[in-house]
Structure 1
Amino acid sequence: MSLAQPADLAVTNKKAALKGLYDALYEKNMFPFWATSEGVDHDEIKQLMATSKAIPFVWSYTDIEPLLQRAAELVTMDDSERRSLILVNPGLAPKRASVSTMYTAYRLNDPDEIMPPHKHSPSAIRFGLTGKGNFTGVEGEDVVFGPGDMVLTPNDAWHNHGTVGGEQAVNLSVLDLPLVETLHAVHFDHKYTEMVDGKEVEKKVQTARFPSDYSQRIYGEGGLMPRFVDHKRGGGLSSPMYVYRWEKMEASLDAHKDWDGDPHEGIVIDYVDPTTGGPVFRTINFYV
């Protein structure tokens, strides 16, 4: 029979003591933040890196479009006013996110469907895909948009969605919802009211307060900006230009098609806040 040497005994005793310490910490909902070479059970680097992460993934529109049509047949506006298909990254499921900070969804609206206004703390855009009658009303500016047009619905700006013109239309929604969720700052408001004859009245459709071409008329010429309008509408936390038309972007791309462009990205043009030259939102940048 051999006896444990003092050094071996010290190691054994330390392991037992550490296990007791770790068990006590976990029981009290705490985590030991120090490196250890004793196995992996309490390796804080491994545990910190073990959180869910988005993985490379491709969603095909050939898969999405038939499902949008089936949803339109089975889910009416009486069932739900927000009939969208959300892209869920397999690495983040069941979290509603395409990447860790961004939410993406496809929406098909049948002819002349208009949803009531709402607002929320996440910032969002709608990008027209099919049909000429996609509709978004943003803070009193009624925007009808088609393929390639991008419409902003800034955080806390009242807006509503739908279609006009008697045909189906599909658009893509992008929001910074997962980021705002991480910051515990999500809120939605569905009770839209306007003052009518001195009384606050709940309404299902926003009253237009701006011309339908307001964004292009005020902000559509680079280097020129009228001084006689309020550029802080919708809270002033995003671009006050609510619609970016595809023909403008396409013309700019075509004007530079013979340029070498960036050696890695080619010809890239940003959508910008015309009042600052920065991104349209403080949380997301968009470009073509």
Structure 2
Amino acid sequence: MQELGRLEDLPADYREALTAQNLVPLWPSLRAVLPPGKPALRTRPTFWAYEGLRPLLLKAGELTPIEKAERRVLVLANPGHGLEKMQASSSIYLGMQLLLPGEWAPAHKHTPNAVRMIVEGSGAYTTVDGEKCPMSRGDLILTPTGLWHEHGHDGDEPVVWLDVLDLPLVYYTETSYHNDGKAQDVTSTMAERSYARGGLIPSPVFSRSSERSYPMLRYPWAEARAALLNLAETQPKIEAVQVAYVNPETGSDCQNILGFSALMLRPGETLRLPARSPAMVFHMIEGAAGVDIDGTAFNLATADTCCAPGYTPVTLSNRSGSEPAFIFIADETPLHKKLGVYEVRS
């Protein structure tokens, strides 16, 4: 590979003249922005143990009332990006959010897309665009870009969920902002039941209702889990027992930038994933799994989370020989495909 000239090789007066006109020579930095063969990865394999995180999150509930926090969240930050950047990867933000009984997190809307993966507790709900979505462990709830949403809690135990947002990308493009709003009127509940039968969706042919960009906002874990078990039973030779969270009317990804799926590892199963361009997040819904990220190994128990950089092979192993393990996955695949940079390496 040809060696390029360095910035310090240029005369000082020439460098000063460039700076005075806001000019920068490309060649000294060319290899940094266009490295040979593989991107320069800042995202590191990183693990967040729920056992260690949970007491700190509950302590935050004691130290900071919801009125002072608006959203009481501990951010799962990747040290490769710097903890102050609050990024799990270049495009993924993760946070563990706590809502205590009787609390209400006020309505707002924002440009980043968000999903909530419910980790523990019951009695809480999210109202999105007038639809009240009850929260149960393992449920996935969408709060897409531009839709009003708020969180409330009518139960008697702490409720915790994992927030996954495309905030780093939206912030980078200088399009990240929010608006505050008032409490919403609930116009529907359990609307996901309209899409509970495969191949059948509500028909708008004889109605005047406008088409919703996000017709399904809540994906109950009970149904996703049943779908995985059925897939494993009816297709025993399938390479990976995995279901994607999609728009039920179009079959496309349920949101525009990040992709979401649920994976079941059969008892004793080991699954080797190829190196792909998108970074991935693994969150343990049920069971226990080993995750090997190109030699960096983590053991995930229920509610643990880890992140794998892109262009890196990953091996997943069910640590139980008798029970299945269920993993929620978030990744950057939709974004990479839209940009035309999606890649799989053998």
TM-score, normalised relative to structure 1: 0.79
1:227 maps to 203
Matched letter for residue 261 of structure 1:
I
- Native 8 Å contact 1:122 1:155 kept in 2: yes
1:47: Cα distance to partner? 6.0
1:246 maps to 221
* Distance in structure 2 (CA, Å) of the matches to 1:88 and 1:123: 18
Alignment of 1:162-181 (within 5 A): 162-181=152-171
* Distance in structure 2 (CA, Å) of the matches to 1:135 and 1:16: 61
* Distance in structure 1 (CA, Å) of the matches to 2:160 and 2:69: 17
**Structure 2 gaps, min length 5:** 1-7, 263-346
Does residue 83 (structure 1) correspond to residue 60 (structure 2)? The answer is no
Matched letter for residue 260 of structure 1:
K
* Distance in structure 2 (CA, Å) of the matches to 1:17 and 1:170: 56
Matched letter for residue 187 of structure 2:
R
Matched letter for residue 237 of structure 2:
D
Tell me the alpha carbon deviations over residues 131-185 of structure 1, each in whole angstroms, 9 at most, x when there is no partner: 1223100011111111010000010000001322222111111000011011111
Does residue 44 (structure 1) correspond to residue 34 (structure 2)? The answer is no
Matched letter for residue 230 of structure 2:
A
* Distance in structure 2 (CA, Å) of the matches to 1:275 and 1:187: 29
The DSSP-based 3-state class of the residue aligned with 1:148 is coil
2:250 maps to 276
Tell me the alpha carbon deviations over residues 52-91 of structure 1, each in whole angstroms, 9 at most, x when there is no partner: 8211111111111010111011111232221111111101
The DSSP-based 3-state class of the residue aligned with 2:85 is coil
1:120: Cα distance to partner? 0.2
1:224: Cα distance to partner? 0.6
1:68 maps to 57
Does residue 138 (structure 1) correspond to residue 113 (structure 2)? The answer is no
- Native 8 Å contact 1:112 1:167 kept in 2: no
The DSSP-based 3-state class of the residue aligned with 1:248 is helix
1:21: Cα distance to partner? 3.4
Alignment of 1:18-29 (within 5 A): 20-29=13-22
Tell me the alpha carbon deviations over residues 213-272 of structure 1, each in whole angstroms, 9 at most, x when there is no partner: 1122x2222211112364633xx2xx320000011111111112242222xxx2111011
The DSSP-based 3-state class of the residue aligned with 2:170 is helix
Matched letter for residue 242 of structure 1:
L
The DSSP-based 3-state class of the residue aligned with 1:73 is helix
1:213 maps to 190
- Native 8 Å contact 1:134 1:171 kept in 2: no
1:24: Cα distance to partner? 2.5
Matched letter for residue 31 of structure 1:
V
- Native 8 Å contact 1:128 1:134 kept in 2: no
1:197 maps to none
Matched letter for residue 24 of structure 2:
F
Distance 1:188 1:227, change over 3 A: same
Distance 1:17 1:33, change over 3 A: closer
* Distance in structure 2 (CA, Å) of the matches to 1:162 and 1:86: 21
* Distance in structure 1 (CA, Å) of the matches to 2:128 and 2:92: 21
1:3 maps to none
1:123: Cα distance to partner? 0.5
1:28: Cα distance to partner? 2.9
- Native 8 Å contact 1:117 1:160 kept in 2: yes
* Distance in structure 2 (CA, Å) of the matches to 1:161 and 1:213: 16
Distance 1:215 1:180, change over 3 A: same
- Native 8 Å contact 1:260 1:267 kept in 2: no
User: Aligned pair count?
Assistant: 246
Residue identity over aligned pairs, in percent, reads 33
Name which of 133, 147, 157 aligns with 1:157: 147
1:198 maps to none
Alignment of 1:91-106 (within 5 A): 91-93=80-82, 94-106=84-96
CA RMSD in angstroms, aligned pairs only: 2.1
Max Rg structure? 1
* Distance in structure 2 (CA, Å) of the matches to 1:276 and 1:170: 31
**Structure 1 gaps, min length 5:** 1-14, 35-41, 193-202
